[in-house]
Structure 1
Amino acid sequence: MALHRVNTDDYRQQLAEKAQRLQEAYRPYTDLEPEIFPSPPSHYRLRAEFKVWHEQGRAHYAMYREGEHKKPFVIDEFTVGSELINQLMPKVLEAVNASEVLKKRLFSAEFLTTLSGDALITLIYHKKLDEQWRAEAQALQEKLGFPILGRSRKQKVVLERDYVTEQLDIHGRTYQYKQVEGSFTQPNGEICRAMIGWAMDACADDEGDLLELYCGNGNFTIPLAGQFRKVLATEISKVSVASAQDNIRANGVKNLDIVRLSSEEFTQAIDKVRPFRRLGDIDLDSYDFSTVLVDPPRAGLDPDTCAMVARFSRILYISCNPHTQLENLAELTKTHRIERFALFDQFPYTDHTESGLLLVRK
């Protein structure tokens, strides 16, 4: 399904059906009904990527239908995209079509926006970007009031910055995040805010220290740090770790350390299987971990990480793939019971479902 145009009247019914399917799938492990966090029915997506289709001397935005990746179709609106994306799309396209330099061999345009009104536009080419391109892009940047980034093979041209700044108001406090182009960020801003608030509520009565695996740019980590004595978080992406360090400083967090380790490496470290130079300044024995937060990729937790996570008294498990979360629950529910269960509708009008679980040791 191509989501450039949706019928918002169908949203509530689709969400109810999605919740019913999720509850039935999890019934072997819990009788709880999921707490449902609906998305705004339109303009919810903060990032978008479009193919640029050239026809009769003009550039157009285009998308593909599922299973038809050789047959793009031209679009002139994107109602699931943020209002800022929809405002910028025609302005960028008009400028591209008015400039042979900007238009020539342009094959993709990406938009990254925030709830707080920031934006970054990335133009991607099958050609080397020269000084003439830079001058034209600079003029477009000044006209739009938002930064332009140029990419081609082995080339990245940053005119001003390669990131946006997001501000999320959660439980009476504003958190600031640097989100770098090309790194992972939550695509649905309102659902992101709901997920963080739900995680904070789930940990409200916790005591001890927090371990987080797959922490990204500190999306969950930074707000949760205020509810624990100490926090240790891990992430494998260098770009995300650097962003997280910037976000720690921007939010004035003092009790949080982030290290660049995969979940498999951290499992080896905590089991003292092997030392890691990246943990040189971290004394793992000084932590009294009571809770572990995991938000893994679609593959879920590997067997060793799943076994390590099961040692914790409380497990907060955010999943972008209920199928692999269910596979992990076959092991985790041997030692833990589900106390909270949530559905986060990150991608309305699709079968995609994101879920949240709080598991407590039996």
Structure 2
Amino acid sequence: MGLGFEPERYEEQLAEKRQRLVDLLAPFNAPAPEIFESPREHFRLRAEFRLWYEGGVPHYAMFEQGDKRKAVLIDQLPIAAHRINELMNPLLEACKADPVLGRKLFQVEFLTTLSGEALVTLCYHRPIDESWDIAAQRLAEDLGIMIIGRSRGRKRVLQRDHVCEELSVAGRAWRYQQVEGGFTQPNGTVNQHMLSWALDAAGRNENDLLELYCGNGNFTLPLSTRFRKVLATELSKSSVRSALQNLDENNVTNVTLVRLSSEEVTEALNGARAFRRLEGVDLNEFNFGTVFVDPPRAGLDPATLELVSRYPRILYISCNPETLAANLETLSQTHQVTRSALFDQFPYTHHMECGVLLEKR
């Protein structure tokens, strides 16, 4: 449920989130959370719009959550990046003027970066072919963007299927390949705060890091500088491909990346099952002192909870504080929360990202 775009109430809304997190962490004697604010406007690097036709004329539209019948027509979106707002009208006008681009176009998706790149995906209820390629390439050159076309069972990539982001963490620039359709943090400024906090909380270590749910290596890259070695795991094939590219792009050589789910990692570390995907990886060579998790909204399953509770330190980033609190009911039996943080990734909504550092009692 959204709170609405009310920049004048930002501090009040953030205070409400802070109190909610404090209340959730109170049973675990957590210290007061460190607060990382978002820019008030133009913070969202991704945006997706349906097209709503009135009198045959398309308009960008958004809908209230759970109600796809009543469209809210928009021509600018103040929470979206400046680059998205710059592109919205010229792109739509070009599609109106050219039937090859505009016919049966039903959705437009924008992916941009702090470093200025823009990738736009045009989605159609009809097949698209080489004639579309020519028109779309001309539009891409006119607007200085990259374009992908999607129709049922078809994806046409004109330049490339990703943007290249650059994030600054503790004085160092990290480059990330962010693939169209893959998961990336939508608020780039707050993502940099998250990475910096995680790096500081990790400290400097002479042992190794186990990372579950590593995605495209968002946290893996900077955290690799604070440990002897890293074993990073991720199930999504596309995320693994991006993570491998990002490790190579940034010359990170102390990370071993394997495509395993958290449940499979647990089985492997328990010696309960051998995996062909671990061929050539000797788990006995690792001396894990810290485990880093950034799980989906459902949190950690019981087997993964049991696994992470073995390690001296747990760094836990959560997109759902309620499931974090539920997991802490188990983890607090062996660990104490020594740091906590609130990252306001999603201003003007009830959603919030948070982090905790747990250390063995």
Q: TM-score if structure 2 supplies the norm length? A: 0.98
Retained in 2: the 8 A contact 1:210–1:289? yes
1:108 corresponds to which residue?
107
Query: Matched residues in 2 for 1:348 and 1:22: separation?
Result: 15
What is residue 90 of structure 1 aligned with on the other side?
A: 89
Deviation at 1:257? 1.1
Partner of 1:60: 59
* Cα separation, 2, equivalents of 1:359 and 1:7: 35
**How far apart are the structure 1 equivalents of 2:29 and 2:128?**
55
User: Is the 8 Å Cα contact of residues 95 and 140 (structure 1) preserved in structure 2?
Assistant: yes
1:316 aligns to what? 315
Q: CA deviation at 1:2?
A: 6.2
Q: Distance in 2 between matches of 1:198 and 1:207?
A: 20
Does 2:341 correspond to 1:358? no
**Residue equivalent to 1:221:** 220
Deviations 1:321-358 (A, max 9, x none): 01111111010000000010000111001111111000
Whole-Å separation in 1 of the counterparts to 2:118 and 2:252: 26
**Separation in 2, partners of 1:153, 1:281:** 40
Structure with more contact order per residue of length (Cα contacts < 8 Å, sep ≥ 6): 2
**Residue identity matched to 1:252:** N
- What code does the residue aligned with 1:87 have? E
Q: CA deviation at 1:37?
A: 0.5
Task: List alignment gaps of at least 5 residues for structure 2.
Answer: none
1:11 is aligned to 10
Q: How many Å separate the matches in 2 of 1:73 and 1:202?
A: 42
Report the aligned-residue RMSD: 1.1
Residue 169 of structure 1 deviates from its aligned partner by 1.1
Residues 59 and 96 of structure 1 are in contact (CA less than 8 Å); yes or no, is this contact kept in structure 2? no
Shift of 1:66: 2.3
Is the CA contact (8 Å cut-off) linking 2:123 and 2:149 kept in structure 1? Answer: yes
Amino acid in structure 1 at the alignment position of 2:190:
I
Alpha-carbon contact 1:2-1:64 (below 8 Å) kept: no
Q: Contact 1:62–1:75 at 8 Å: present in 2 too?
A: yes
- How much has 1:176 moved relative to structure 2? 0.2
The runs of 4+ residues in structure 1 deviating greater than 6 Å are none
The one-letter code of the counterpart of 1:240 is: S
Q: In structure 2, what is the equivalent of residue 37 of structure 1?
A: 36
Structure 2 CA distance, aligned partners of 1:240 and 1:145? 26
The structural deviation recorded for 1:103 is: 1.1
Equivalences for residues 220-259 of structure 1 within 5 A = 220-259=219-258
Q: Residue in 1 aligned with 2:160?
A: 161
* TM-score, normalised via structure 1 length: 0.98
- Does 2:123 match 1:124? yes
Q: Deviations over 1:64-91 (max 9, x none)?
A: 0123222222111100001111111111
Aligned to 1:186: 185
Q: Are 1:143 and 2:146 an aligned pair?
A: no
Percentage of matched positions with identical amino acids: 55
Does the 8 A contact of 1:210 with 1:292 survive in 2? yes
Aligned-pair CA distance for 1:30: 2.0
